[in-house]
Structures are given as C-alpha cells and as structure tokens.
C-alpha cells in the first residue's frame, strides 16, 4: 500500500498527528508507558484515502546521548520506505537549525513532501507559519494536529501525492485552470448544510424529484452523508447532504457539535456549500459555526433561506437577513442569498444558478498584471504603516491558487503587516475583482 512517513525534530507534534490519522483506538493500545518504539506504523484513513503511516516519534524518549544518531538513522529508514513525506515543523517555535537538518534529509529523499506548520491554531502560530517557506519544501500548510485544523488541506495535498489507482477520481484536481467550473461533463459538487429541520432533506427531495431521502417528523432517522447524482438544466450536479445527524442527540450543544462535524464531511467534498437557513428562525450560533467551517475549508458559499412560503408576506425580511449575513458572515462576504421553498419548489432554480455563479467566482484566476496594476494604486493611496520604525515593503503579488482564490504578497518585513491592513487588502481584492461569496487567502512571502 501507499506509505506516508511523518518526519520532524522532537516535539513538533508528530505523535499527535499520527494518532489523529490512525485513530484513537490503535494509539491507545500502542501507548504503553515506558515502551520506547523507534517507529510506529498504522493504517490511516483520511476522507476516501487509505494509506500506511509511519511515525518516528518513539525516538523522542530515547537516551539523549545516542538520540541524534539513532534519530537520523531511523528517519533515513522511514524516508527510504515512504512514498510521500509529511514534514512537520512547530509554527509557534519557528524554524530551528534542527529543522533545517531534517529538511536536508527530506530534500535528499527526493519524494513528494507535504510541509505542515503544526500548532498554528493561534494567530501567532499562523504568522510564524510563513517562516517555513524558507525551508524550500514548498508552501507550508498551517495545521493543528491537536485541534484537527488543516486536515482538509492535508487531504488535498495527499491526494496530489497519491498514485492515481489508490483513490477515487477527483474532478477538482483535473486542471483548476483549464476547465471552467461549469463544464457540463464534470459534476458541480454541492453540499447542503444547515441546522436540523432547516429543510435539507425536503430540499434535496425537491431537487431530485423523488423520495430518495426520508423526511418528516419521525424520530430516529439517521443516514450517512453521501453524494447524490443529479442533473440541473443539462448540467451534472453531485449533492452532499448532512440530514442524517440531526436526531442522534437531543442535547442542544451536542447537536451543534454534531451538525458541525457532520457538516465537515460534506463540506470537505463539496465545491459550493449551500447554507440552508430557516426563514422563520433568525441566524443562530449553529449557522455561524458552519460558516467558519466553510471559510476554513475554503469553499464557495451560497445562502438559501428556506420556508419562504411561510414568511413571503413580510417584505422587510430579506433585507434584514441580508444585513445580518453581511454583518455576521464577515469571512465570506457577499454570498448570494436566495429565498426558497423546498415545499413548493419556488426559488430552487435561482438557487442552482447562484451555485454555478459562486463556483465560477471561486475558480477565477486573475492575471498577475491586473493584480499588480491594482496593487500599485492601492499602495500609493494607502501604503502599509511603519511598524516600530521598520519599513514594510510590499513589492508585488500574484495569484498562487484558485478554488478558493489564494494570493501571495512578496516583500520585506511582511510578518509585521498589521491584520487590519491584510483585511483591507482582502476587502479590496474582493471588490476590485468581484469575488463575492468565496474565502480569499492571502499569504506573505517575506524575504527578510
Ligand atoms: P432537515 O432536518 O434539514 O433535513 O429538515 P427536513 O427536510 O426534515 O424538514 C423539516 C421540517 O420542515 C419538515 O416538517 C418539512 O416538511 C418542513 N419544511 C421543509 N421545507 C419547507 C418549506 O419550504 N416550507 C415549509 N412550510 N415547510 C418546510
């Protein structure tokens, strides 16, 4: 099978990552106190990927006198038997000389490398992440093995590293550039998420035009999150819904967590996420938790306001909802809001149009020339502030990825760039290049 080695100096969080990938059960069985293993192996599952993972963390408890040599030998052995390498650094600690030594070993192995900047759950950690660019092992993925953040980026990176036959075909990967998002041959992957009883099952039934899902007030209905194939106006769509989790728990806060964890699965597989609200209930914490997930996973967002048949007599409601969403959903500004009635089918076509439009925005590529023309105007009108006497210099920018749009800024002292200025740039990009309803990523590539 495909083998992935987790490499890195002691204490960067390799074991935590291993446990997360392999699952608690095995880790608990394996973690007997006083047992020093040089290496652990386990079967990992991430989304639809299956692979063997090797962890070299056992060495950390070894006799320090012999540590360096054994660690090196073990690392080399793990590198030799791996098909791909996950190289872990500690984003909070920054890059140490020790990291550089390990990076050299990794580079010499000449295998696909995924660079994880672990412990990046805090803002400080995220900023330090960019230091890892200097290792020359590609773009670091901000990660938190402890909190499970960044798993979907790791998943994407592993998919790229994995050989074709070990996975399902990935429509997303086939040329983010070459293929427009509305290519008729490729299904648009849409997740329908929302709080219990928002009407997800009813909406999906309405779309599919048949009773493929169970709906209604019966208790105890559970089903897994699966993809459903559909066609809308001759275009292929794959729907992912999360209806199943809704009645597993009666405790409100637990339900919220479940809805989020279940949503995670659907969101991970989707390109566009439809956040289904219930028009008779205002925005709730739960809805916002889902928007955070959408932002983190980098998906396009469309908001559907269901049960519009019940509130259609209230003309101010859409305006209020729009205001609320602009205020509350601040990370994915400008998402289209579409009133629908899953019961009558009103608005479903407009919802699908909005989904295809959102996918187009999400996939958009902006030329470096246009970006820099805009950037120079921005820098002239509103240059970055000097922070404690040091001059921040922004030289140029380029779009490094689409789906979602990801830009990189190049310059000096960029790590000192205040968050408010970064936000200002992101808002400017969103406006100038018309990027509503998608997260926008901006990374700093600072040369000192
Ligand atoms: P889910 O938990 O999100 O899958 O929600 P369901 O699809 O099971 O719907 C919950 C309840 O809301 C059911 O009783 C539906 O009949 C009702 N419902 C769903 N959509 C609409 C709608 O557009 N209008 C009205 N009036 N009721 C709806």
Average pLDDT in the chain: 79
Rounded Cα–Cα distance for residues 191 and 170 (Å): 16
Helix (H) or strand (E) holding 306: strand 300-306
Instruction: Write the DSSP symbol of residue 92.
Output: T
Which CATH class name applies to 368-446?
A: alpha beta
Give pLDDT tens digits for 193-220. Answer: 888 888 988 898 888 875 455 444 443 3
219 is in an annotated binding site: no
* 343 Cβ below 6 A of ligand 1: yes
Rounded Cα–Cα distance for residues 1 and 162 (Å): 10
Under-50 pLDDT residues of the chain: 25-36, 61, 165-183, 211, 214-225, 244-256, 258
Closest CA to 116 of 71, 150, 163, 161: 150
Atom from ligand 1 closest to the CA of residue 276: 3
Q: What percent of the chain has pLDDT over 90?
A: 29
Residue 171, pLDDT score: 39
ipTM above 0.90, yes or no: yes
Contact 290, 252 (CB under 8 A): no
9 is in an annotated binding site: yes
| CATH architecture under which domain 188-363 falls | 3-Layer(aba) Sandwich (3.40)
Rounded Cα–Cα distance for residues 329 and 333 (Å): 6
Q: Name the residue with the closest Cα to ligand 1, atom 9.
A: 199
CA distances from 26 to 16, 44, 49 (A): 13, 10, 18
Give pLDDT tens digits for 362-415. Answer: 999 999 889 999 999 999 999 998 877 778 889 888 898 899 999 999 888 898
The third-level CATH classification (topology) of the domain covering 3-166 is: Rossmann fold (3.40.50)
Residue spans in the chain of domains classed CATH 3.30.300.20 = 368-446
Q: Name the residue with the closest Cα to ligand 1, atom 24.
A: 307
Residue spans in the chain of domains classed CATH 3.40.50.300 = 3-166, 188-363
Helix (H) or strand (E) holding 412: strand 406-412
Whether the full predicted model's pTM is greater than 0.90, yes or no, is no
Give pLDDT tens digits for 416-428. Answer: 899 999 999 999 9
Q: Helix 64-81 and helix 97-109: axis angle, to 10°?
A: 30
């Amino acid at each position: 099978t495909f083998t992935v080695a987790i490499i890195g100096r002691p204490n960067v969080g390799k074991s935590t990552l291993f446990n997360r990938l392999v699952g608690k059960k095995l880790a608990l069985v394996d973690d007997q106190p006083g047992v020093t293993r040089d290496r652990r192996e386990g079967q990992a599952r991430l989304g639809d990927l299956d692979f063997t993972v090797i962890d070299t963390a056992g060495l950390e408890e070894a006799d320090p006198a012999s540590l360096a040599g054994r660690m090196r030998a073990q690392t080399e052995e793990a590198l030799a038997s791996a098909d791909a390498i996950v190289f872990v650094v500690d984003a909070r600690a920054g890059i140490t000389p020790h990291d550089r030594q390990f990076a050299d070993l990794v580079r010499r192995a000449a295998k696909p490398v995924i660079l994880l900047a672990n412990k990046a759950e805090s803002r400080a950690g995220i900023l330090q992440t960019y230091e890892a660019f200097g290792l020359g092992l590609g773009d670091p993925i901000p990660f938190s093995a402890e909190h499970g953040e960044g798993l979907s980026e790791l998943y994407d990176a592993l998919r790229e590293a994995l050989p074709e036959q070990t996975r399902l075909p990935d429509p997303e990967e086939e040329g983010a550039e070459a293929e427009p998002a509305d290519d008729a041959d490729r299904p648009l992957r849409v997740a329908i998420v929302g709080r219990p009883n928002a009407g997800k099952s009813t909406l999906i039934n309405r779309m599919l035009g048949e009773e493929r899902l169970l709906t209604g007030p019966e208790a105890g209905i559970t089903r897994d999150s699966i993809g459903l194939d559909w066609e809308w106006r001759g275009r292929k769509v794959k729907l992912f819904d999360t209806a199943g989790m809704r009645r597993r728990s009666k405790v409100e806060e637990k339900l919220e967590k479940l809805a989020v964890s279940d949503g995670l699965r659907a969101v991970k597989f989707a390109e566009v996420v439809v956040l289904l609200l219930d028009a008779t209930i205002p925005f709730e914490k739960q809805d916002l938790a889902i928007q955070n997930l959408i932002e983190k996973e980098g998906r396009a967002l469309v908001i559907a306001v269901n049960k519009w048949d019940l509130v259609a007599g209230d003309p101010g409601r859409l305006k209020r909802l729009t205001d609320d969403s602009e205020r509350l959903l601040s990370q994915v500004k400008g998402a289209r809001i579409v009133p629908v009635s899953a019961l009558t089918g009103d608005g479903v076509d407009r919802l699908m149009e909005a989904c295809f439009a959102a996918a187009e925005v999400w996939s958009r590529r902006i030329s470096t020339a246009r970006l820099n023309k805009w950037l120079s105007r921005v820098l002239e009108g509103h240059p970055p502030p000097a922070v404690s006497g040091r001059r921040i210099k922004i030289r140029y920018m380029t779009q490094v990825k689409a789906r979602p749009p990801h830009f990189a800024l190049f310059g000096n002292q960029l790590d000192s760039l205040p968050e408010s200025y970064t936000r200002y740039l992101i808002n400017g990009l969103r406006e100038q290049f018309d990027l509503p309803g998608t997260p926008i990523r901006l990374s700093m590539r600072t040369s000192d």
